[in-house]
Amino acid sequence: MEPFAVTKFREYIRIKTVHPDPDYDGAIAFLDKYAEELGLECRHVKVSKDDVNRTIVIMTWKGRNPNLKSILLNSHTDVVPVYEDQWKCDAFAAIKDENGDIYGRGTQDMKCVGIQYLEAIRRLKKEGKQFERDIHLTFVPEEELGGEYGAAVFFKTKEFSDLNIGMALDEGLANEGNKYTAYYGERSPWWIRFKSEGNPGHGSRFIENTAAEKLMKLIDTLLNFREEEKVKFQQSVKCNLGDATTVNLTKIEGGLAYNIVPAELSACFDIRIPPTVDLKEFEGQLTKWCESAGQGVSFEFVQKTSNTNVTSTDANDPWWKAFTDGIKKLNIELTTEVFSGATDSRFLRAAGYPAIGFSPMRNTPIRLHDHNEFLNETNFMEGIDAYYAILPCLADVPSF
């Protein structure tokens, strides 16, 4: 017989909170009912002023001492689109095969974690447990679009401030080996549009000083830098992806017709920068590369994160000690890394809150945003055990 927690997980997967038209209403109704089942306080905070229902669902399990800083368990409800013809089954049917592998968009990123929080709390409440600190669960929209209209807005509101957060847990990645991975920081995502202006003219002539020539020079410089970083990453046994600067050309724009040399072209890059890099210096390097490419070459930020805050992993830090004490109960080895992508945790760290990215999945290939995303039933249930061990340690951290 299927565990009740797995049934709830599959039900959550079937709610199509997929962009560009996520069913947030369906997710909110599902979560409201969940909170009622568990006897958790539940309220909503709307973070948008337009017709899109960007609503934060907040659940609260009260502790004995509301004056103490609380614990935040954050997760996002939205998921990325799928290439339906590349999936072996319906990406929103939550099909479970004979091996116990559950297929569906969001199985790893990150509907599993939201349900694991709730089912660990169900188990703890059933045992009559209560802790010193309040535990808040937040289910936020728009993370997959960068979080700018979801968590980034919410974390600046009075409603969030009133939660009196001491530390937070958010998403991580699966570990393909037999360990868990905790993420204490993130790279800064810079989405940049480089613009090149040059002489236009007829496509039959040798036009000098064209936008294309200068843009190609800049692109070559950026891709050469990319190759240097790639080599350093591959040659270092201690370097994880989160420790490297990645540079990827994602879009080229411009031109009016096949026979017109354009007066302007642009190239868009996704650059991810680790917290060890001086961001001011790096931006200065980008400026120099533009100047070297030629007059009329410039850049603008589409998205720019300039936070290099990391969460302490010092053995004497009370929050980190409590988290790792919980992991020790599981007898599972823990590794630590800088997260290679970007999550809502970056907004928390930027505001000074300790935040640990943690998705308790091991022996699992990383399939977030990939075709045939899946999570095995056994690994999912083990994740509930992980939070069952960790939450009491965090929620009973003495005042400090």
Annotated binding-site ranges for Zn(2+):
76, 109, 144, 171, 369
**CA–CA separation, 2 and 212 (whole Å):** 60
Which residue numbers belong to the known binding site?
76, 109, 144, 171, 369
Using CA atoms, how far apart are residues 325 and 229, in angstroms rounded to an integer?
36
- What is the rounded distance in angstroms from the CA atom of residue 347 to the CA atom of residue 161? 14
Residues 6+ positions from 222 with CB-CB distance below 8 Å: 247, 249, 269, 289
Q: How far apart are CA 77 and CA 65, in angstroms?
A: 30
Closest Cα partner for 344 from 54, 81, 149? 149
Q: Verify whether residue 78 is a known catalytic residue.
A: yes
Is the CB of residue 105 less than 8 Å from the CB of residue 45? no
DSSP structural state of residue 98: T
The active-site residue, picked from 78, 142, 344, 382, is 78
Residue-wise burial string across 267-288, b where 16 or more C-beta atoms lie within 10 A, e elsewhere? bbbbbbbbbeeebeeebeebee
Residue 40, classed as helix, strand or coil, is: coil
Cα three-residue angle 55-372-77, rounded to 5 degrees:
10
Per-residue tokens: 243: 């420790």
Residues 6+ away with beta carbon under 8 Å from 188: 272, 273, 275, 279, 304, 305, 306, 307, 308, 346
> Is residue 73 classed as helix, strand or coil in its secondary structure?
strand
Which structure tokens are listed for 133? 């600190």
8-state DSSP, 21: S
143 is known as an active-site residue: yes
Answer for the pair 363, 374: CB distance below 8 angstroms, yes or no. Answer: no
Q: Which residue has the tokens 């990406």?
A: 91
Catalytic residue among 134, 143, 170, 197: 143
Show the tokens assigned to 359: 């998705």
Contact 8, 71 (CB under 8 A): no
Catalytic center residues: 78, 143
